[in-house]
Structure 1
Amino acid sequence: MRFELMLPHQIRDAIERNLPVLLPLGVLEYHGEHMAVGMDMLAVTRILDRLEQELDIVILPQFAYGAASYAVERPEGAGSVHVGADKILPIAEEIFFSLLRVGFRNIHGFIHHQTENFTAGMPTDLAFKLAGRQAIFRFLETQYGEGWWGSDRMRDYYTQHDEGIDPFNWICVHPLMDEKITQKYPFDHAGIGETSLMMALAPEVVDRDRFGDNSGWYTESAKDASAELGEMGVGLILDRLKELLVRDAT
């Protein structure tokens, strides 16, 4: 279900069923001459299009204006749009706080940009991770007042924490591809891995005739990309998302 298309009774039903609420996160960034600047965003949104056919989920409107950086290419004529993490943070916190106010308690952000070292984090995912934590603290204090954690209602906090059901799991941010996937599928920037994903998910944004126009080292393997390889990656991602979201909904 698309959140913007839902009626209030459907929203209440989703809350009652604790359905996963998914926020696609991305950036607009140069991905070589052969591929669209929205690749990172499209990887998430097109995967969720497929996931929606298999699971009951709520998909929020995408947030595409992440911290792309200009590390790959200058923006002039190349298309990268960079919004600093410090600017993203307050917006992200307001988004998450509002979703908690609505009543959702199973919120997940998914991002593909710069997630090769997700544990350490990069500006966009770090902004949303911190925003999620701050939104939860703010919401709980708004609802229960100062001292909420020390109150008797939180007596079983550590048990809840061990079971993964404490309030700080209400909002989670995940990489689209975790380490287990990247051990089986190439993770790169505009190379064989990402180009193959787009050939499978959004073939209209890949132009094979432009491979020869590339000059960056990171695009050298793109010529070996295929939709078949991309479908393998899609399958790995979908399997992980289904396992993750079904587990967290219980």
Structure 2
Amino acid sequence: MQMVDMFYDQLEDAKQRKVPFVIPIGTIEYHALHASCGTDTMVINGVLRELEKTKEIVVCPPIWYGVASYAVSGPEKGTIQVDVDAYENYLYCILKSMIYGGVKNIYCVAHHQTEEAGLMPMTLACHKAGKKVIMEYMEETRGKGWWGSNDYADYYENLGSGDDPFSYIKVIPLLSAEAQHKCGGFDHAGKYESSLMYALYPDHVDLERTKKNTEWFALNSVETSMELGKHMVQCALETLDKIIV
């Protein structure tokens, strides 16, 4: 289900049943000469589109602008960089509205700079915003000292479950480290990411333009293939199906 298409009673029902609410965490960034600048966000949207076919989830509107950084290119090539502090506060406001509104099963799914599922500025901002919201929510609704009260004597028994408040918001990569290994690799605008995008949005990858790339990270984009892309989509789906519950 797409959140923007849902009516109030449908949203309330999803909240009550703790259906996963999934937020695509994206960026607008230069992806060489052959792939669109929305690649990082679009691949998440595309995989979730496929996941929707087999799993009940609520797909929230993507956050298109993100902490892209100017590591790959400057703004002159289309990269739009949001300062990490501003981004963290923006995401904090979104997550706060959702948590206080009764959504207690949120997944922030990122693809940008998620090699080996490592923590980078954007994913760190997501983690920080999420934890800040939860700490404030629990203190405001349960009072100071909530964790130390006897009401939470079973805290460790529920650790990681739906009853664990620190599991209300989870930050995960589109491709886990395990999925990346199964795919055979991970890159930026190279054969792996380009193939993933090509399988999901073939009209947003121009195979002829791959031959014009001169930057090191995009040289092997000439090896972009639908077969590899579909394999990567399947790897992502298998992992997400296990993680998103």
- Fold-level similarity (TM above 0.5): yes
What one-letter code is carried by the residue in structure 1 that aligns with 2:80?
V
1:195-210 to structure 2, matched below 5 A, reads: 195-210=194-209
Rounded to whole Å, the distance in 2 between the matches of 1:162 and 1:43 is: 28
Other-structure match for 2:10: 10
- Structure 1 unaligned blocks of 5 or more: none
Other-structure match for 2:21: 21
Rounded to whole Å, the distance in 2 between the matches of 1:98 and 1:163 is: 22
* DSSP 3-state at the match of 1:158: coil
What one-letter code is carried by the residue in structure 2 that aligns with 1:219?
A
Distance apart, 1:165 and its partner CA: 4.0
* 1:70 and 2:37 are equivalent in the alignment: no
Other-structure match for 1:180: 178
Other-structure match for 1:231: 230
Select which of 109, 123, 126 maps to 1:125.
123
- Structure 2 unaligned blocks of 5 or more: none
Rounded to whole Å, the distance in 1 between the matches of 2:210 and 2:51 is: 31
* DSSP 3-state at the match of 1:161: coil
Judging changes above 3 Å, is the alpha-carbon distance between structure 1 residues 162 and 133 closer, same or farther for their aligned structure 2 residues? closer
Other-structure match for 1:157: 155
TM value normalised by structure 1: 0.94
Rounded to whole Å, the distance in 1 between the matches of 2:180 and 2:202 is: 22
Distance apart, 1:164 and its partner CA: 6.7
What one-letter code is carried by the residue in structure 1 that aligns with 2:195?
S
| CA displacement, residues 121-160 of structure 1 (integer Å, 9 cap, x when unaligned) | 1111110111000000111111112121122211111111
1:47-196 to structure 2, matched below 5 A, reads: 47-76=47-76, 78-119=77-118, 121-161=119-159, 165-185=163-183, 186-196=185-195
* DSSP 3-state at the match of 1:159: coil
Distance apart, 1:42 and its partner CA: 0.6
Distance apart, 1:213 and its partner CA: 2.2
Distance apart, 1:70 and its partner CA: 1.0
Rounded to whole Å, the distance in 2 between the matches of 1:31 and 1:117 is: 20
Rounded to whole Å, the distance in 1 between the matches of 2:113 and 2:168 is: 24
| CA displacement, residues 38-94 of structure 1 (integer Å, 9 cap, x when unaligned) | 111011011111111111111111001111111112221x10000011111111111
Other-structure match for 1:221: 220
Rounded to whole Å, the distance in 2 between the matches of 1:163 and 1:84 is: 33
CA contact (8 A) 2:39 2:197 kept: yes
CA contact (8 A) 2:46 2:201 kept: yes
- Between the two proteins, the alignment pairs up a number of residues equal to 244
